[in-house]
Amino acid sequence: KHGVSDEDAQVGAVTGLAWTEVGGELLTIESVTTPGKGEIRSTGKLGDVMSESIAAAFSFVKARAPAYGIKPSIFQRKNIHIHLPEGAVPKDGPSAGVGMVTSIVSTLTGIAVRPDVAMTGEVTLRGRVLPIGGLKEKLLAALRGGIKTVLIPEDNVKDLAEIPGNVTDGLEIIPVSHVDQVLETALTSMPAAIEWTEADDLASQPGAAGAKDGSAPTAH
Amino acid sequence: KHGVSDEDAQVGAVTGLAWTEVGGELLTIESVTTPGKGEIRSTGKLGDVMSESIAAAFSFVKARAPAYGIKPSIFQRKNIHIHLPEGAVPKDGPSAGVGMVTSIVSTLTGIAVRPDVAMTGEVTLRGRVLPIGGLKEKLLAALRGGIKTVLIPEDNVKDLAEIPGNVTDGLEIIPVSHVDQVLETALTSMPAAIEWTEADDLASQPGAAGAKDGSAPTAH
Amino acid sequence: KHGVSDEDAQVGAVTGLAWTEVGGELLTIESVTTPGKGEIRSTGKLGDVMSESIAAAFSFVKARAPAYGIKPSIFQRKNIHIHLPEGAVPKDGPSAGVGMVTSIVSTLTGIAVRPDVAMTGEVTLRGRVLPIGGLKEKLLAALRGGIKTVLIPEDNVKDLAEIPGNVTDGLEIIPVSHVDQVLETALTSMPAAIEWTEADDLASQPGAAGAKDGSAPTAH
Amino acid sequence: KHGVSDEDAQVGAVTGLAWTEVGGELLTIESVTTPGKGEIRSTGKLGDVMSESIAAAFSFVKARAPAYGIKPSIFQRKNIHIHLPEGAVPKDGPSAGVGMVTSIVSTLTGIAVRPDVAMTGEVTLRGRVLPIGGLKEKLLAALRGGIKTVLIPEDNVKDLAEIPGNVTDGLEIIPVSHVDQVLETALTSMPAAIEWTEADDLASQPGAAGAKDGSAPTAH
Amino acid sequence: KHGVSDEDAQVGAVTGLAWTEVGGELLTIESVTTPGKGEIRSTGKLGDVMSESIAAAFSFVKARAPAYGIKPSIFQRKNIHIHLPEGAVPKDGPSAGVGMVTSIVSTLTGIAVRPDVAMTGEVTLRGRVLPIGGLKEKLLAALRGGIKTVLIPEDNVKDLAEIPGNVTDGLEIIPVSHVDQVLETALTSMPAAIEWTEADDLASQPGAAGAKDGSAPTAH
Amino acid sequence: KHGVSDEDAQVGAVTGLAWTEVGGELLTIESVTTPGKGEIRSTGKLGDVMSESIAAAFSFVKARAPAYGIKPSIFQRKNIHIHLPEGAVPKDGPSAGVGMVTSIVSTLTGIAVRPDVAMTGEVTLRGRVLPIGGLKEKLLAALRGGIKTVLIPEDNVKDLAEIPGNVTDGLEIIPVSHVDQVLETALTSMPAAIEWTEADDLASQPGAAGAKDGSAPTAH
Ligand SMILES: [Ca+2]
Ligand SMILES: [Ca+2]
Ligand SMILES: [Ca+2]
Ligand SMILES: [Ca+2]
Ligand SMILES: [Ca+2]
Ligand SMILES: [Ca+2]
Ligand SMILES: [Ca+2]
Ligand SMILES: [Ca+2]
Ligand SMILES: [Ca+2]
Ligand SMILES: [Ca+2]
Ligand SMILES: [Ca+2]
Ligand SMILES: [Ca+2]
């Protein structure tokens, strides 16, 4: 059953695409919140490049939190743990970046991820999606795994010419250049942005007098 | 007497199953709480993969704590220490994951673990149980060690065909796909879920005015 | 599209110039703020020298914050994360220092960076700009990437004699000896200095009675 | 005089037994409390396995503190430092575990350790005593060093058959299966258990209103 | 222009003297304060010995702060960052110790350093100046770099006999045995000592009722 | 002048004795207090064994502080920095332990160390002095360096037989078995013990209501 995507929409669970010497394969990404102070923990025998891509994904989400309906005050009482199962298998590379962002946003908003969507793409601190390698192998793995929709970087569209027709025919392939396009397709609904001013930020600091939604719940 | 399971139900003590070049063997997992801030410490000459599987198991329990009757506020005053005895023997691999979750839940709820049950299976952040290697050797070790019931990953059922009949006859083998099934069999009773709202969470923060069961005990 | 500079002015995004064995290339530098306590995090497979140059750039900006209109109290509630995309490509060297300062000042002031400007130069704790290597390769990369203006260290002017005329004709090359000259050219507007006395500093400490713009917002 | 046990009962000083290629020898274990937050520091050129056995011994004592008359609130203002003298000699292995527990309990209760007792045995988080290697060499070292009583793991009783009669005749050898049996023999008196409820635990948290014996001394 | 000393007196900028296989050279030392808790950060590809010499220099200044007119309470709200430019060039050795002390005192007092002075000498925790190697190469570099005055350890005076006359004639060479002599020559003015009693120290602790110049500014 | 002991009694400065392949030599040990939380920092290219011996020396002093007239509350506002000059020369071994204790006690009490005394000996957590190697070389170095009195471990008295008469005649050699004997000889006066009860300890905790000499100065 592994190598096949989950059937139900789940919060925090994303299907990435990995590329190894022996071909492509589905890469499950899972995250949960735990009590903490806005830190991230990642496990699953991850290499340095993947660990850094998770750190960048997390900072991207923190910096844009209000745009995704996430109150920044949550980072004063929650950590995120990202785990990639099959814990004995080494994993590395930056191309799971869009999956990391999607998993974190899903977990923090409580909005589920569509289970028939897979995705690949490096992501920058401004949310741009950068091209990846191994497109053919990744698409084949998606097809084999029952995926219906694959999000790929716009800069990889030029590589689609070399992909066999039966692969591209069996998948809806959506090119994206910004992670917001990823979220629009992969989440079952789009979170509504909230306002968060510098005053909200100051008020939510630990020890501040009146917090909108900080650690000291006050009627107002 | 080692290599043979304990006879009494004990809080926090779980029998896992390890697989080495020279065969399978019983793997004792023990945990206790100590004063702290919700951190986990693991000892017993554990490799990186096993250490990461413990981190993931702990985050799984933290994220689902109310479902297991555990008030998340406990992570503001308790750490968990997991130790695997025979401290000079190296141990590694992800397959003790279900045992780690069971030991942590037992310690935090005070509900004992059945001593005649052994278990093997990797666990994900959502509690799914993934397949493991060395099933035959592990079942032989369980039989030798006086175990009555062995919990194995559902995805390993296909491997039972290759196991000698005298082994499978001597053991109750229960396939599981989620760690909740593990807890139902291995714990002497199932913890009752509690409610824990975001308001409870805010109120339990250090410094908050009125805590349900946090660090500032208040009559209410 | 990579290897070509962005078209719109963006906050925190700077184009540096790298020099490798196979030639020069554009080096994107991005930064965001996240909740924190004035620390810096850098990612993108950076070597020790580049990581240290980021630390020095950050300390330079912290020490001169009021001169750039930045209230030092922001370092009590914000971290900076700097990421250099193409996370699998190793990057090192001190010559991105001026870019690091520019990115940090842009992010902390909210003033955008001109997208058609590239820059190279080591920066010291007092803001002096020190010479770099690989000028020819870097200028060629800038030209190829559609850059219009390149800021180079004054101490590299002597190397311009060896650069082909078609390269120097295609670029506006501005020699700089202090990072303030870099900011004047690269930012879309220059931040206005603020006053910040020792009294402001004391008042902004956590727990102080009346803060100008610290963690305890008070009317005054 | 080294290699010979101390003559007076001392708080925190325990005689363990080490086993090296050139034979057994007495191993002094010493501990003191220092101001701190319940952490442990160990020195004396200790290997990873011995360091982990100290961590496990400390967690065992923390988790069972009230049973040994130790108020858990002490871990909010005291650290433990364990040192094994002859600081240039490497030491490793799990078999000093019972000695570590005994030293920590002695230091925290102020009850002295009998100087004519030596001990060897791995200890688990539940206090079980596991078998060790090198029994013969260790007993010879104890005899040479003027030890009268040696505590050994019950699971090593079977190895006594191979020990020369003059060794076993010269020593009182006491097999133990739980560390409580060790404490009963080695301490000059047994500490009386205290009660410590969850309410005591909450009240002793830093910042709590009324502490039994916490950081805020209150009459009651 | 590098290898030549700055022309204006600058706060925190000191010219040291380095000695490498290919001769001596000027070594710029710069420091700034940043918000913090009295910690030191050093960058510039420094080896362990130089990093330790910076740590010792900083502790020397902290321990003698009132003698240099520096209120110790500043270490509750400021860090020091020391950077040695030319960040890709490895630097090591203890002989920049007097320069480190001078840079830190200059930065903390705001008193500028004379730009035409260079210095070399290891410094101890009590401020004694210890001899260094490579005196000839260092003096030659100072002469080449336009330095007028060089401070050398008194214990190196015996080595001056071997230095060519044109070098010693071109430089004012001042032997020093304590870092106070260094500061008297190198700073543009000498800081006035302040009084700082144990009572001041207690009052300046975070959370203390009335602070002379601590984090809680109070009229008195 | 190096290799010769200081002439004046100094607080915190101790002369140890080192033993290398090329003979013995004087080893200066210096310490100062800096603002902090009771931590120790050691520099001077020290090996692991010497670093651990410093940690043990510091814990010994902390645990016995009142016996040396030191209020334990000082560890809530002061760190100790120990530095061994000649920062480029590697140093290791446990035999400077008695010197480390003497330096720390001198610095914390403000009582000077006699400059004509040198010392060697490992020290345990209970203050026992253990034997060292290289006695002959160390005594020769002491004689050469103008030392009058040398403290050696009692367990090294047996080695004095092999030392040439002119060496033992030129030095007052005092055997010691406990570090208290070291302090009695090496300090210019002996600190008077103070009383420090558990109540004092509780009252001196940060946040406690009335502190004897803690962070909150109160009249009483
Ligand atoms: Ca797989
Ligand atoms: Ca990848
Ligand atoms: Ca075994
Ligand atoms: Ca395994
Ligand atoms: Ca590129
Ligand atoms: Ca570079
Ligand atoms: Ca020995
Ligand atoms: Ca051992
Ligand atoms: Ca140079
Ligand atoms: Ca040097
Ligand atoms: Ca020397
Ligand atoms: Ca030594």
Q: In chain E, what are the domains?
A: 14-189 (3.30.230.10)
pLDDT category of residue C4 using cuts at 50, 70 and 90:
low
Do residue F13 and residue E63 have CB atoms under 8 angstroms apart?
no
Ligand 1 centroid vs A156 CA: distance in angstroms?
A: 25
Q: Does A74 touch chain C (CB under 8 A)?
A: no
Q: Give the pLDDT of residue D7.
A: 62
pLDDT of residue A51: 98
Residues that place a CB less than 5 A from ion ligand 2: A 93, 95
Chain F hits for D45, Cβ within 8 Å: 48-49, 52
Asked whether residue A209 carries a pLDDT value surpassing 70, the answer given is no
Q: Identify the pLDDT of residue F7.
A: 61
pLDDT at F113 exceeding the cut of 60: yes
User: C206-220, E79-93, F97-111 — which is least confidently predicted?
Assistant: C206-220
pLDDT value, residue F21: 80
Question: Which residues surround the ion ligand 6 when the cut-off is CB under 5 Å?
Answer: C 93, 95
> What's the confidence (pLDDT) of residue A6?
56
Q: Is A34 within 8 Å of B62 when comparing Cβ atoms?
A: yes
Catalytic residue, chosen from B31, B95, B103, B106, is: B95
- Mean pLDDT in residue range B78-101: 97
Mean pLDDT for the stretch of residues C197-207: 88
Confidence tier at F16 by pLDDT (50, 70, 90): very high
Report chain B's mean pLDDT, rounded to a whole number: 92
The answer to whether E79 and E54 are in contact (CB under 8 A) is no
Q: For the residues B13-25, what does the mean pLDDT come to?
A: 92
> How far is the C-alpha of E95 from the C-alpha of E120, rounded, in Å?
6
Window B:2-41, CB contacts with D under 8 Å: 2, 10, 12-13, 28, 30-36, 41
Say yes or no: C220 contacts chain A, CB-CB below 8 A: no
Residue D54: closest C-alpha in chain B = B43
Spatial separation of the C-alpha atoms in residues F182 and F178, rounded to whole Å: 7
For the residues F103-121, what does the mean pLDDT come to? 97
CA distance E1 to chain F (A): 31
- Count helices and strands (H / E) in chain D: 6, 9
On the 0-12 / 13-18 / 19+ scale of CB atoms within 10 A, E146 is middle
| DSSP secondary structure, C72-98, as one string | GGGGGTEEEEEE-SSTTS-B--STTHH
Which pLDDT score, from 0 to 100, does residue E78 have? 96
**In angstroms, rounded to a whole number, what is the distance separating the alpha carbons of residues C139 and C151?**
10
CB pairs under 8 A between A and C: 91
Cα gap D81→D39, rounded to integer Å: 9
pLDDT-derived band at F18 (thresholds 50, 70, 90) equals very high
pLDDT of residue D119: 98
For C:161-190, CB contacts with E below 8 A are none
Rounded to an integer, the average pLDDT of C28-49 is 97
Average pLDDT over residues A138-153: 97
Contact between F34 and E62 using a beta-carbon 8 Å cutoff = yes
Residues of F annotated as part of the active site: 95, 138
Name chain A contacts of B131, Cβ cutoff 8 Å. Answer: 2
The ligand that comes nearest to the alpha carbon of residue B20 is 4
B77 shares contact with chain D (CB less than 8 Å): yes
Q: Known catalytic residue: A78?
A: no
Q: Residue B188 — φ and ψ, nearest 5°?
A: -70, -20
Average pLDDT over residues C187-203: 94
Give the pLDDT mean for C160-164: 95
Distance CA A103, CA A182 (A): 11
In three-state secondary structure terms, E111 is coil
Please give the pLDDT value at position B6: 56
For chain D, how far is it from start to end, CA to CA, in angstroms? Answer: 51
- Distance from the C162 Cα atom to the nearest Cα atom in chain A, whole angstroms: 35
pLDDT of B217 > 50? The answer is no
Does C63 contact E at CB distance below 8 Å? yes
Burial class (CB within 10 angstroms; exposed 0-12, middle 13-18, buried 19+) of A35: buried
Residues of B with CB below 8 A from D54's CB? none
Q: Return the higher-pLDDT residue of A172 and F217.
A: A172
pLDDT in tens, F188-219: 999 999 999 999 999 988 877 654 544 443 33
pLDDT score of E1 = 42
Q: Is D125 on the interface with B (CB under 8 A)?
A: yes
Specify the residue for token string 């008469």.
F165
What confidence score (pLDDT) does residue D9 get?
74
Closest ligand to the CA of E1: 9
Is the Cβ–Cβ distance between C38 and C76 less than 8 Å?
A: yes
Q: Is the predicted pLDDT of residue E6 greater than 60, yes or no?
A: no
**Closest CB to D205 among B86, B88, B215:** B215
Token pair recorded at residue B170:
């001597």
**Model pLDDT for residues B64-79, shown as the tens digit of each residue:** 999 999 999 999 999 9
- Residue C53, classified by CB atoms within 10 Å of its CB into exposed (0-12), middle (13-18) or buried (19+), is buried
For residue E103, give how far its alpha carbon lies from the nearest alpha carbon of chain F (Å). Answer: 19
List chains adjacent to chain E, taking adjacency as at least 3 C-beta pairs closer than 8 Å: C, F
Q: With an 8 Å Cβ cutoff, is C213 touching chain A?
A: yes
Helices (H), C17-164: 48-63, 97-109, 135-144
Q: What is the pLDDT at residue D156?
A: 98
Q: Give F93's contacts in chain D (Cβ within 8 Å).
A: 88
Could you read off the pLDDT tens digit of each residue along chain D, which spans 220 residues? 445 555 677 999 999 999 988 889 999 999 999 999 999 999 999 999 999 999 999 999 999 999 999 999 999 999 999 999 999 999 999 999 999 999 999 999 999 999 999 999 999 999 999 999 999 999 999 999 999 999 999 999 999 999 999 999 999 999 999 999 999 999 999 999 999 998 999 998 887 765 454 444 333 4
pLDDT of residue E9: 74
Q: Is the pLDDT of residue B1 over 50?
A: no
- Interface contacts (C, E; CB < 8 Å): 90
Give the tens place of pLDDT for each residue, C117-136.
999 999 999 999 999 999 99
Torsion sign (Cα): F196, F202, F204, F209: negative
The yes-or-no verdict on residue E121 having pLDDT over 70 is yes
What percentage of residues in chain A have a pLDDT greater than 90?
Answer: 85
Question: Does residue A62 carry a catalytic annotation?
Answer: no
**Residues B184-209: tens digit of each pLDDT:** 999 999 999 999 998 999 998 887 76
Beta-carbon separation of B128 and A85 below 8 A: yes
- Whether F116 contacts F149, CB under 8 Å: yes
Residues of C in contact with E81 (CB under 8 A): 55-56, 59, 63, 125
Interface probe with B: pick from A8, A26, A30, A205, most Cβ of B within 10 Å: A30
- What pLDDT does residue E205 have? 86
User: At a CB cut-off of 8 Å and minimum separation 6, what does A202 contact?
Assistant: A208, C77, C213, C214, C215, C217
Would the CB atoms of E52 and F13 count as touching at under 8 Å?
no
How far off is chain D from F202, nearest CA to CA, in Å?
A: 6
B129 vs chain A: nearest CA distance in angstroms?
10
The torsion angles phi and psi of E178, rounded to 5 degrees, stand at: -135, 150
| Predicted confidence band of residue B106 (pLDDT cuts 50, 70, 90) | very high
What residues of chain E lie within 8 A of the CB of F83, using their CB? Answer: 52, 56, 59, 124-125
ipTM of the prediction greater than 0.85, yes or no: yes
CA count, 13 A, side-chain hemisphere, A137: 14
Cβ–Cβ gap A122/C87 under 8 Å: yes
| pLDDT value, residue F207 | 72
**Residue C203 pLDDT more than 60?**
yes
Query: Looking at per-residue confidence, does A123 or D4 come out higher?
Result: A123
How is the beta sheet containing C172-176 ordered, strand by strand? C40-43, C78-83, C23-35, C14-20, C117-119, C149-153, C172-176
